[in-house]
Structure 1
Amino acid sequence: MLPSIDDLVRDAHVVALPLRNRFRGVDVREALLVEGPRGWTEFSPFVEYEPAEASTWLRAAIDFGWGDETAPLRDRVPVNATLPAVDAALVAGILDRYPGCRTVKVKVAEPGQSLAGDVARVRAAREYVGAAGRVRVDANMHWSVDETLAALEALAPFDLEYVEQPCRTVAELAAVRAAGTGVPVAADESVRKAADPLAVARAGAADLLVIKAQPLGGVAAATRIVREAGLPVVVSSAIDTSVGLSMGAYLAAAVPALPHDCGLGTAAMLNADVTREPLLPSGGAVDVRRIDVDIDLLRQHAAPAERRAWWLDRIRACHALLDENGGAYRPE
């Protein structure tokens, strides 16, 4: 059954954690943390999401804190380094925060930036990891089909592992894939923000899927999507605290095969966390483990009172939507 709203808000903590580098327009990551019977869990939909979308993130938080345990198939998950849309001169310093990682995910197509800047950033990432490393790019839906094809031509010398969500629609992804660039197409927003997360797989519009635990309703729900999609997956995160990353690690540990490194090393992007033992990459991987939250750190990084009130109002609105659905917190 759905926990009561009192159970969720009574001891909830809202934190505001600064990022080392601006990432997708965000300098500070806010999150709500609460301890359930199974341990600490996280509710951290981006602030612009309305309750209808954010309620799925609450479903995930409840699943991780109150739901059934999922038996992990592995105790370590290989992860990629995440490179924000920074100047090429900053690349090496950022990638040094990801010891042992053989893969770099490079943000491209940042509004206000140029393709030349993207090329320089990707070149620096390739030089850092060498010929044996892997470089993938993520455009976050900012390119048209023609812009994607032009960008992939410009980036061809760097042997891309894949391009993630270059365009907005499933039809556009299918057109990029049909163009025969030789670069696999990964779908992210077309999975986690879609009414039907399997539509992109059914349309043959992607070679692999990027799967995130919170936006898809939790470990159990996301695992079903992976099984039904029948495509290779990369388990990723959304600039979570170590608690949210732990949820992602348990999801990755439940997926039978992981041919690609996962996007779960992003604790390295934070200037602060909620635990003395953050889920940082070590030897190119992160552990699959629950997080021991430090109450002193929760207090130290507590969001201002007005932001805490905003998050409590938000979780109440999302809880009401789940309650309207009969208390179910796992999508069928």
Structure 2
Amino acid sequence: MPENAIPENCARLGRLEPTGLGAKWLADAGITAAYVYEIPMTTQFRGITSRDGLILQGAAGLAEAAPFWNYPPDVALRWFEGAFAVATKGLPAAPAPTPLNVTVPIVEPATAVRLVETSGCLTAKVKVADPRASLEEDVARLRAVRDALGASGKIRVDANAAWTNSEAREALPRLVEAAGGLEYAEQPCRKLADLAALQELGVAPIAADESIRLAASPERALREVMAAGLAAAVVKAMPLGGPTRVRNLISESLASSPADLPTGTGQNGKSAPPASNLQTPANNQRNPINNLQNPVSNQQNPANNLPNNTVNRLPPSAAENRGPLIVVSSALDSGVGLLAGMSLAASLQVEAACGLGTGRLMRGGILVEEPRIEDGQLLPPTKVELNLDLPAPSPEQVQRWRSRVEEIAKIFPMALGLNRKVCRPQRAGGVGD
């Protein structure tokens, strides 16, 4: 290979010059620059071999808008709304060191062992129910992960809504046995009613992801998840409208009256406050994107500014707060999107291992300094800066995103908020950690 040749397995980043309504839509939202990125995956992940999306820049810094291609415009819009908010108003808390689970995709047992042993994580999230693998292969992968983690490690499985209720009832006992116990099984079925039935049956602790993220009303979905007594709720910052929006959704859900929602009281036994009672980051903290020297030490955490009777912390155990375990996860984000997830976890003071270690599944990154994994934690960079020296994506890829922005702008010329009916992606759940 010539000395100046561009290696095939590397991240790509290039400027997007929007046109027509797309240009006006972004400008009206306060976006001053947009970039297209593309990062090859180290292994195929839910059918994805390369991750691509947009990075938007505004007065407060960088934000990611990377809805998967099977998401229709009204679902993708939430991602853009979140990116607009982060780019123009900042993050709800400074990204801080975040405990991780290691994500194990559909790989051979030996590869699963290597992923776990090199991660430094005490919790593993294992993908199952993929069309490329049989139940027996899932069982073998889980046994290998348990051997690598040891008896004290925690294992989660994620089926991405692939099973029917009867299929889940058949598969989950096998997986629980192979894993030597599960922390939870994430979204085994598409319907929330099926998740509640499985939780009631006691086959395994059940968590919801797509039931929240793809719901017509995420607010209502979160309340229903809590009322159903599910073991965990998995939330992803950008697909749900950005970290501040998700923090507020959770706070509002926990603030529901006991008559309507018997779960989710705060640390002090009182209901958590509505989002309107939380001090806003604009008034109480500096934007971590602008604190390039040290975003952690140079910024106050808004949770520390809350009155004594205001709870913004979600305890790590559902048994402690009679609400679900809250887990912040990635949607195969770039480093920019991972910072939003870290901010969400910090703003909620979530102690459960988070699914934000998906950078290990990508060949490179788009930041000069990426969030890095060390001893099972994701650590924020000391500064946030795009690596503009990367090679550009193909003209076809740039045009594809230009057309998508134009398409969404034509349908939603103004911000519509998040309380609206949405179309489901062609495949349940899309892709994510």
Same fold (TM over 0.5): yes
**Match among 47, 50, 68 for residue 46 of structure 1:** 68
In structure 2, the partner of 1:125 is 145
In structure 2, the partner of 1:281 is 373
In structure 1, the partner of 2:175 is 155
How far 1:179 sits from its partner (Å)? 0.7
In structure 2, the partner of 1:101 is 121
In structure 1, the partner of 2:199 is 177
Aligned-partner Cα distance in 1 for 2:405–2:142? 39
Contact 1:63 1:329 in 2 (8 A): no
How far 1:307 sits from its partner (Å)? 1.4
Contact 1:217 1:329 in 2 (8 A): no
Contact 1:242 1:291 in 2 (8 A): no
In structure 1, the partner of 2:133 is 113
Matched, 1:246 2:329: no
Matched, 1:60 2:82: yes
Q: Per the alignment, in what secondary structure is the counterpart of residue 209 of structure 1?
A: strand
Q: Which runs of 5+ in 2 are unaligned?
A: 1-23, 254-263, 265-323, 421-433
In structure 2, the partner of 1:222 is 246
Q: Quick one: which amino acid aligns to residue 172 of structure 1?
A: D
Aligned-partner Cα distance in 1 for 2:64–2:395? 19
Aligned-partner Cα distance in 2 for 1:318–1:46? 14
Aligned-partner Cα distance in 1 for 2:252–2:34? 35
Aligned-partner Cα distance in 2 for 1:150–1:20? 32
Provide, for residues 76-107 of structure 1, a one-character-per-residue CA deviation record: whole Å limited to 9, x for no partner: 11111111011212112333452x21111000
- The structure with the larger Rg is 2
How far 1:291 sits from its partner (Å)? 2.8
Q: Quick one: which amino acid aligns to residue 246 of structure 1?
A: L
Q: Per the alignment, in what secondary structure is the counterpart of residue 215 of structure 2?
A: coil
In structure 1, the partner of 2:58 is 36
Aligned-partner Cα distance in 1 for 2:359–2:176? 30
Provide, for residues 179-222 of structure 1, a one-character-per-residue CA deviation record: whole Å limited to 9, x for no partner: 112x2110000000001223332550622100001111011110
Aligned-partner Cα distance in 1 for 2:96–2:351? 16
Aligned-partner Cα distance in 1 for 2:149–2:334? 26
Matched, 1:291 2:381: no
Aligned-partner Cα distance in 2 for 1:232–1:322? 34
Matched, 1:138 2:158: yes
In structure 2, the partner of 1:206 is 230
Provide, for residues 264-286 of structure 1, a one-character-per-residue CA deviation record: whole Å limited to 9, x for no partner: 11111101210232213212111
Q: Quick one: which amino acid aligns to residue 189 of structure 1?
A: E
Q: Per the alignment, in what secondary structure is the counterpart of residue 295 of structure 1?
A: coil
How far 1:227 sits from its partner (Å)? 1.6
Between the two proteins, the alignment pairs up a number of residues equal to 322
Aligned-partner Cα distance in 2 for 1:330–1:155? 36
In structure 1, the partner of 2:400 is 310
Provide, for residues 105-137 of structure 1, a one-character-per-residue CA deviation record: whole Å limited to 9, x for no partner: 000000142110000011111111111111100
Q: Quick one: which amino acid aligns to residue 264 of structure 1?
A: L
Percentage of identical aligned residues: 36
Contact 2:38 2:50 in 1 (8 A): yes
RMSD over aligned CA atoms reads 2.3
In structure 2, the partner of 1:323 is 413
Q: Quick one: which amino acid aligns to residue 374 of structure 2?
A: S
Contact 2:184 2:232 in 1 (8 A): no
In structure 1, the partner of 2:99 is 78
Q: Larger deviation: 194-203 or 104-113?
A: 194-203
Q: Larger deviation: 268-277 or 186-195?
A: 268-277
Provide, for residues 287-316 of structure 1, a one-character-per-residue CA deviation record: whole Å limited to 9, x for no partner: 34663221112xx2x321111111122123
Aligned-partner Cα distance in 2 for 1:254–1:330? 21
Aligned-partner Cα distance in 2 for 1:81–1:175? 28
How far 1:56 sits from its partner (Å)? 0.4
Q: Per the alignment, in what secondary structure is the counterpart of residue 57 of structure 1?
A: helix
Matched, 1:265 2:286: no
In structure 1, the partner of 2:208 is 187
Q: Quick one: which amino acid aligns to residue 358 of structure 2?
A: T
Aligned-partner Cα distance in 1 for 2:146–2:108? 14
In structure 2, the partner of 1:88 is 109
In structure 1, the partner of 2:329 is 236
Contact 1:80 1:264 in 2 (8 A): yes
Contact 1:41 1:65 in 2 (8 A): yes
How far 1:330 sits from its partner (Å)? 6.8
